[in-house]
Structure 1
Amino acid sequence: MTRQFHKMHGLGNDFVVMDGREQPIAMTPALAKALADRQFGIGCDQLILLEPSTTADVKMRIWNHDGSEVQSCGNASRCVVALTGAKSLETSGGIVEGGSFGAEVEVSLPPPHFGWDEVPLNYPMDTAQLPLAWGPLEHPMALNVGNPHLVFFVPDEKAIDLVSIGPSIEHDPAFPERINVNVASIADDGIHLRTWERGSGLTMACGTGACATAVAAIVQKKVTSPVRVHMRGGDLTINWAPGEQIQMRGSATHVFKGEIDLEQFAR
């Protein structure tokens, strides 16, 4: 049961990557949660499992820190491209294409979806400006960029207490699959962003959050493409035009590799 793993991060959003293409790994929510635990496991925001794919170079499955499996992760996609050299990734959120450009990695996510049932929401609402509010946050845009996001534009993203308000938004009954929460402000140098990730909490950076926020800002004519998105862990460049894929470019860092006995974590 001893298996190799790689510890990687994209702008501080960190991952444990395990390769199950030749020797399958029976990953479960409980096992993923145990491995992601920062005190008793390896520790990460997301656990990434690579599997064989018939539609892409590799299949990528993603479990959040709490053990919930999700559809897409932009930062993890860049890390997997950097680690494996894959040009295409199969995810539950669609096919992700990627390639290396010097010190950075670029991936192209499928076009965003804006329909209320595509986000998804539990009932029809105007996703361009949801008629909902949580404390100081109100009327966000809702969209799906491989996973569901809300985007709030505020004067100062640092002034929002996401640790307190994020969980209540994430678990609001309006969102049947829970939701990622982005608060952003617009400045001369681009977008400044903080993200509460469903199942992981407040992270250093969120790739799909940067994509969702950039798309929302472009749709609302707050910025033009390409745009630089600044997060606590670093910056991403997002390029998008309506009807097209979302291109995201930034760093992907390999920290170390190791081995772990999965049997001790099996429950």
Structure 2
Amino acid sequence: MPRTSETDARIIVRNVDKRFVLRHTHSLKETFISLIRRKSLVTTFEALHDIDFEIGEGESVALLGFNGSGKSTLLKLMSGVLRPDRGQILTRGRIAGLIEVGAGFHPDLSGRENVYLNAAILGMSRKEVDERFDDIVAFSEIGDFIDTEVKHYSSGMFVRLAFAVAIHTTLDIMLVDEVLSVGDEPFQKKCIAKLRELQSQGKTMVVVSHDLDTVSRLCERGILINKGRVVFDGGSADAVAAMRAG
């Protein structure tokens, strides 16, 4: 992903479009029938259209919208997992993201091995991981399961370990997609407390969550997306109100 040092912004999104091709056949038979009936085999879905904004250093921003609005797609574009079809996204600094739970985790490796693997993907050296390993395990509350293959983990254990690795990296930008809704209430509170700690350190944060009350308290700014377009960009409480007014 391109980087920029020309402004104080950590993230710059400029006139971004993203489209996906949807295929409507799953077999040679269906393809043949569609061709005979002259039906289209594919359609194009425009997930995002002309998205344009900047996020400054130290800002905490909630991306809001109903299912299918495009917010998770936008988060993946910011992380570099996806590329825009038009426009550009510029970021400045090291990004740590919880976009898809367990991305970068190998099911046949133990929790310990996956900590080192995932931390390396996030840009940490082995020495850095060695120094923070005990803190990562303690935060995740995995305990004795750290040397068990992660394919035997529950979804909650998986998320806790992935979150613990991400927040213990040296980061400038944190991207979080729905992870705050996973796990029990005490762990959710611990996650939010850790995110507030990162805020106090001047880290930039972008959060996607259906928990509107939590994100309105956690983030000072909200960007509301509807059908792939930004329809509101302002205070998080106002953005939540706009979404609820619908």
Which interval holds the TM-score relative to the shorter structure?
0.3 to 0.5
Bigger share in helix: 2
Structure with the larger RCO, 1 or 2 (CA within 8 Å, 6+ apart): 2
Bigger share in strand: 1
TM-score normalised to the size of structure 2?
A: 0.32
Report the structure number with the largest CA radius of gyration: 2
